[in-house]
Amino acid sequence: LRRTRPTGPREEATAARGNSIPASRPGDEGISFHFDFNAFRSRLRHPVLGMRADESQEPQSRVRAQREKVKEMMQFAWQSYKRYAMGKNELRPLTKDGYEGNMFGGLSGATVIDSLDTLYLMELKEEFQEAKAWVEESFHLNVSGEASLFEVNIRYIGGLLSAFYLTGEEVFRIKAIRLGEKLLPAFNTPTGIPKGVVSFKSGSWGWATAGSSSILAEFGSLHLEFLHLTELSGNQVFAEKVRNIRKVLRKIEKPFGLYPNFLSPVSGNWVQHHVSVGGLGDSFYEYLIKSWLMSGKTDMEAKNMYYEALEAIETYLLNVSPGGLTYIAEWRGGILDHKMGHLACFSGGMIALGAEDAKEEKRAHYRELAAQITKTCHESYARSDTKLGPEAFWFNSGREAVATQLSESYYILRPEVVESYMYLWRQTHNPIYREWGWEVVLALEKYCRTEAGFSGIQDVYSSTPSHDNKQQSFFLAETLKYLYLLFSEDDLLSLEDWVFNTEAHPLPVNHSDSSGRAWGRH
């Protein structure tokens, strides 16, 4: 790839010209398609990094100090990763080494790719350059393992797309497209619903044999990234793949309007009737409302599917505990498990985000529902010794918002609760959300910070918890990013211009008045 001069966050708009770039090494071949980066940037309603208040006017303000603290945490997390695990997927802070895992099919550097946009928006310029240099020189796509389609999409494709849209650096666009192409064999199924696992081995049939059903949250969380792959490559194949998924889901009969978590990619039928807004289901719902927003509010199909699904969830899954806590239960063929996973706590933010475009008579209701669910998730944190929340919490046998067994009491640096605080803050400006976010910062510092990075903990109900020895890449992509945004002005990555994918990578809203390459007609 052509070497452009180093680009820092402040020089963002100068780098891209979006034309085809000659290749410098095999696999990096330029893509002969013009994406007009400057035209895209000129359509944004706000500067990417906001108007930046003159910091000399608020030198000692509390919120500024809070923001700086989160930035310092990101710097520490990055530097620890760089020192002990650069190029590996994730850092193991106790053993001070790297970890590759088995989700990425041989791809490396998940933490690098997941960190790019967070480093950029925090203006950690040197660190951003380190990350970019690694992508240019060491991020190789010639791997041959089996990968999770979902994880590669949300972390790698999402991270590369965001890095491109923020900086205009061609290396990110080209690698995103090339990696996207490697995911396409996963869609070679009778229905076009992709299997969860894709084999990168060249010449293989394309989809691995593991498992017989595909997972709603996985095949339902490709839409945002795949439309942008078409937008940046000019290749319709990406958009066609996700439009087909939408078509299958639109046509299939839904029990009581609910979407079960498992679907056969062979027959196109639901495999069992388990419904959840937490793991297995979660980001499918998120991508419906975000598809609507990202389309510049033209994708009516996504909008209708979202509000219909939310109505069914409210009717069949929503409950209020005897103690007055609102929660979304899980549904097994009509029987409820009165539990919420940490993952389900993103839904407060999602419902807040979607409230503004609901029917007028429902808007206030959805705002209140979002606030109540977020309050419940805060309770799951507040009721633990560490002030961090468990992986799952229950509402039964007189217990509320607490885990009932050790195997559900861990916290792995997940973002969903602070994600909801960020959306609720932007919607209401109620200071409680910053207070709650600050409680999380203090708890992370106290219980998760180790000498060599941040680690998850095994029991949130112990005041001396053991560490799990893993600094998850989503901690840098999401948890720290959402905390930073929570303590920043609303025009830093304004929600008028950006939607966050489910790994918190910002993707731009389509502000062009044409239907565009990717957006099509709805």
Instruction: Please state the closest distance from residue 218 (CB atom) to ligand DMJ, in A.
Output: 10
- Residues 98, 84: contact at Cβ < 8 Å? yes
Name the minimum Å distance from CB 16 to ligand DMJ. Answer: 28
Q: State the minimum distance, in angstroms, from the CB of residue 504 to ligand DMJ.
A: 7
Give 447-452's long-range contacts (Cβ < 8 A, gap of 24+).
Answer: 447/386, 447/388, 448/388, 448/411, 448/413, 449/73, 449/76, 450/93, 450/94, 451/93, 452/80, 452/83, 452/84, 452/91, 452/93, 452/94, 452/96
Q: Which of 191, 283, 420, 494 binds ligand DMJ (CB under 6 A)?
A: 283
Q: Is 496 part of the annotated catalytic residue set?
A: no
Catalytic residue of the set 169, 416, 419, 459: 416
Q: Which is closer to ligand DMJ, CB of 40 or CB of 474?
A: 474
Q: How far is the CB of 72 from ligand DMJ (least distance, A)?
A: 22
- Applying CB under 6 A, the site for ligand DMJ has a residue count of 8
Residue 127 catalytic? no
Are the CB atoms for 442 and 435 separated by under 8 Å?
no
Name which position in 173, 195, 274, 414 contacts ligand DMJ (CB under 6 A). Answer: 414
Q: How far is the CB of 341 from ligand DMJ (least distance, A)?
A: 10
Q: Is 380 one of the binding residues for ligand DMJ (CB under 6 A)?
A: no
Smaller CB separation from ligand DMJ, 37 or 482? 482
Find the helix packing angle between 170-183 and 125-138, rounded to 10°.
Answer: 50
DSSP state of 207: B
Contacts of 227 (CB under 8 A, 6+ apart): 238, 239, 242, 291, 294, 518, 519
The conformational region for residue 248 under phi > 0 = left, psi -120 to 50 = alpha, else beta, is: alpha
Give me the catalytic one of 90, 225, 282, 503.
Answer: 282
**359: Cβ contacts below 8 Å, ≥ 6 apart:** 307
Cα–Cα distance for residue pair 341/12, rounded to 1 Å: 39
Nearer to ligand DMJ, 109 or 415 (CB): 415
Residue 415 touches ligand DMJ, criterion: CB under 6 A: yes
CB 504 within 8 A of CB 482: yes
- Name the nearest CA neighbour of 421 among 473, 346, 364: 346
How far is 170 from 420, CA to CA, in rounded Å? 33
Instruction: Spell out, one character per residue from 480 to 519, where the chain touches ligand DMJ: x when CB under 6 A holds, - when not.
Output: ----------------------xx----------------
- Under the binding rule (CB under 6 A), the answer on residue 265 touching ligand DMJ is no
Pair type for strands 274-275 and 318-320: unpaired
503 is written with which tokens? 């790994």
Q: How far is the C-alpha of 483 from the C-alpha of 439, rounded, in Å?
A: 11
Q: Which one among 134, 438, 474, 482 touches ligand DMJ, defined by CB under 6 A?
A: 474
391 an active-site residue?
yes
Of 158 and 508, the one with the shorter C-beta distance to ligand DMJ is 158
Residue 508: CB minimum distance to ligand DMJ, A: 20
40 binds ligand DMJ (CB under 6 A): no
Comparing CB distances to ligand DMJ, the nearer of 177 and 280 is 280
Q: Counting contacts by CB under 6 A, is residue 341 touching ligand DMJ?
A: no
Q: Which residue is nearest to ligand DMJ (CB)?
A: 502
400 given a catalytic annotation? no
Residue 209 annotated in ligand binding = no
Contacts with ligand DMJ by CB under 6 A lie at 283, 343, 414-415, 474, 478, 502-503
Residue numbers annotated as active site: 151, 282, 391, 416
Q: Please state the residue numbers annotated as binding site for Ca(2+).
A: 502
